[in-house]
Amino acid sequence: MKKPKPANLSQVIHILKRGQWDAFNYSELNRLIATYGKDQAHYSAEQRPYVVMDVNQSLLSLDIADIIFAYQLEQLRFNHRPEQLAQALRQDIAISNFSQQFNNQNGQATNIEVLVHDIVESYQWIYQQYQGFQGQQSLAQIKLNPHYENFISKMRFLYAAIADRDGEQIALLWRINLLYGFHQDDIDEILKQAMQWQKSAAIEQLTWTSPASLSGQTGRVTIRWHNGLRVFAEMRDLIQSLQAHGFDVYICDSVPIDILKALLSNPEFGFNIPESNLIGIEPRRDQQQRIMLQSLHHANLPYGKAKSQFIQKILIARYGYSPILMVGNGLKDQDLLTDFPDTQKILLINWLRDPNSAIGRMAQLAFAQYGQENGRYLLQGLDANVGAFIASPKSIRYGQSTRQAFQ
């Protein structure tokens, strides 16, 4: 199939809402839509232009699966019996010590065995006492007991320790095992409730420390994490405008497909992307389509180089040509953003990545090309303190007030 033909335009209409787009990015994206969209004479429904986007930190300010994890801890939304949780936490994780960064407060090493022992001990108490499991106490009552604080702190700590030692891909798959037993309807409900919670959640870095009274085998540990997810309104409008002008929009990200469907295919959230246009992690399921425990040696994870392979295998094979536009922000996207030279524009959400990484070098190139109509890269700035775009290619780090182009 032939790729879409561009129209010759002397003027570009204002298709997108102005929002907080950088002025140059706003002009270039409007031009792209007008040039390749259905209102130009060369448009063909058989040669539709298409777009590929990332979700985490591209459409949203944080990782949506991490917010689901936070919500599960906040509301004790788990399907595991204590022995099942122990199995899920240990699944395919090496027993060697975690890095020194994840020593306890006394400087002693931690590992999967001591952490699982303490986590499951507290979960056992919660399981027997909480009315959502086998007990009689309300969630508010449970949260007053140190077992709750011990459980959530060490769960968060374990996730971060796995990501640090074994890599983000392993940690992403490990986190799916916390969704054990959930059906798509359950994920839909949890996602909806989590998004409602995040609307009023402050954007902040939280610090959780396990209680001294339950030091256990691990000892006391402390972990920090970011809360306060926001949807980038400009990206939602971009998706809606692309769809209205005859573009097919696809999402490719290392997020469980259940979560992608719950967020992006539910009209309530305004993205309206068909389920068939979502490429994510496909968990193992039982005959009732409930999520089962996963091996962490998952061969079908759209992350890094594999993202490009998914696009090649699924979309290039279907269309016969490359995406017109790609959107990404981080290390997991950098192969995707460089492997398709025919892509007209690449929109980088500027999270001030390492300047020596491929994504960092792309950001520098985008900044150097700023204002050039034939430039391929667009750099969009944001303020991490408010979880929103700013009308600049530069960004503001969380906890700071100065705009920067690069790290």
The helix (run of H) or strand (run of E) holding residue 120 is helix 112-129
| pLDDT 10s digits, 272-311 | 999 999 999 999 999 999 999 999 986 678 888 889 999 9
Higher per-residue confidence, 298 vs 124: 124
pLDDT the model gives residue 337: 77
| pLDDT 10s digits, 312-322 | 999 999 999 99
pLDDT the model gives residue 336: 76
In this prediction, residue 227 has a pLDDT band, given cuts at 50, 70 and 90, of: very high
Q: Span 64-227: which CATH code?
A: 1.20.1440.320
- Cα–Cα distance between 146 and 165 in angstroms, integer? 28
**Is pLDDT at 332 greater than 90 in this prediction?**
no
| pLDDT 10s digits, 160-202 | 999 999 999 999 999 999 999 999 999 999 999 999 999 999 9
**Is pLDDT at 263 greater than 90 in this prediction?**
yes
pLDDT the model gives residue 11: 64
- Cross-strand pairs, 222: 209
pLDDT the model gives residue 407: 82
pLDDT the model gives residue 338: 80
In angstroms, what is the C-alpha Rg of the chain? 23
| pLDDT 10s digits, 15-27 | 999 999 999 999 9
- Cα–Cα distance between 50 and 250 in angstroms, integer? 7
Fold for domain 23-61+230-404?
Answer: Rossmann fold (3.40.50)
Residue type, 261: K
Higher per-residue confidence, 124 vs 360: 124
DSSP state of 129: H
pTM of the model: 0.94
- Cα–Cα distance between 210 and 204 in angstroms, integer? 19
Residue type, 88: A
**Same CATH fold assignment for domains 23-61+230-404 and 64-227:** no
Nearest CA among 204, 144, 160 for reference residue 69: 160
Determine phi and psi for 203, rounding to 5 degrees. Answer: -85, 110
**Is pLDDT at 377 greater than 90 in this prediction?**
yes
Residue with tokens 């792309």: 362
**Is pLDDT at 9 greater than 60 in this prediction?**
no
Burial of 215 (0-12, 13-18, 19+ CB in 10 A): middle
CB 43 within 8 A of CB 37: yes
**Is pLDDT at 6 greater than 70 in this prediction?**
no
- What tokens were used for 164? 């640090």
Of 3-7, 8-12, 205-209, 370-374, the range with the highest mean pLDDT is 205-209
pLDDT the model gives residue 237: 99
Report percent pLDDT > 70 for the chain. 97
**Is pLDDT at 239 greater than 90 in this prediction?**
yes
**What is the arithmetic mean of pLDDT over 3-11?**
60
Domain boundaries, the chain: 23-61+230-404, 64-227
Angle between helices 257-264 and 184-200 (to 10 degrees): 60
pLDDT the model gives residue 134: 98
Tally Cβ neighbours within 10 Å of residue 405.
Answer: 19
- What tokens were used for 135? 């007990």
Higher per-residue confidence, 77 vs 333: 77
CA dihedral 347, 398, 333, 380 (to 10 degrees): 0
The helix (run of H) or strand (run of E) holding residue 254 is strand 248-256
- Cross-strand pairs, 223: 208
pLDDT the model gives residue 266: 97
CB 353 within 8 A of CB 57: no
- For 159-197, letters b (16+ CB in 10 Å) and e give bbbbbebbebbbbbbbbbbbbbbbbbebbbebbeebbeb
- What tokens were used for 265? 């295919």
**Is pLDDT at 1 greater than 70 in this prediction?**
no
Query: What is the CA angle 262-250-171, rounded to 5?
Result: 60
Q: What is the DSSP string of 68-115?
A: HHHHHHHHT-----HHHHHHHHHTT---SPPPGGG--TTS----HHHH
**Is pLDDT at 357 greater than 70 in this prediction?**
yes
Chain center to CA of 74: 19
CB 346 within 8 A of CB 377: yes
In this prediction, residue 5 has a pLDDT band, given cuts at 50, 70 and 90, of: low
Residue with tokens 């959230």: 269
Q: Longest C-alpha distance within the chain, in Å?
A: 72
- Cα–Cα distance between 30 and 24 in angstroms, integer? 10
pLDDT, the chain, mean = 95
CB 91 within 8 A of CB 174: yes
- Cα–Cα distance between 266 and 272 in angstroms, integer? 6
